[in-house]
Structure 1
Amino acid sequence: MRDLLAGPYPSVPADLGPSATALGARRARRRLRVRRAVALTAIAVAVAAAIWLGITQPWVPEPVDTTPRW
């Protein structure tokens, strides 16, 4: 192990830092776009559910066709 560490180190590409920075920026932008898309989808689902519930009103009982016999 000491021989490996004492030997010549492999060369590092000159553009490693800028390319890593660019890659990180692309990943951050992509993550932001995905997060926004998920948030917009969730909002659209919530609005659609609210409209559907407002129109159908499932908590209201069905009207009775016959009168009860008393």
Structure 2
Amino acid sequence: MSPPNDDDDNKEGGESLEMMFKNVDVPNWKNQISWRSIVRSTILSVVFTFIVMKLNLTTFVIPSLNVAAGLMGFAILK
């Protein structure tokens, strides 16, 4: 079985995601920042800070953020 490639989407009549946005300009970085993104990033930073502090105080090891993100994802799914 051969791996899928970009030509498979075009054969079925669908466009690839890259081709759909080929002629669309990327907005300026100032236009990409919204109040919603600021609030969400602040909430996530507070949550990650508490997770990392808890791990640091219980195991005496400073974990990387992927450990904190994994624990948060596990807690949300649980």
The structure number with the bigger radius of gyration is: 1
Same fold flag (TM > 0.5) = no
Whose RCO is larger (CA < 8 A, sep 6+)? 2
After TM superposition, the score normalised by the length of structure 2 is: 0.34
The TM-score with structure 1 as length reference comes to: 0.38
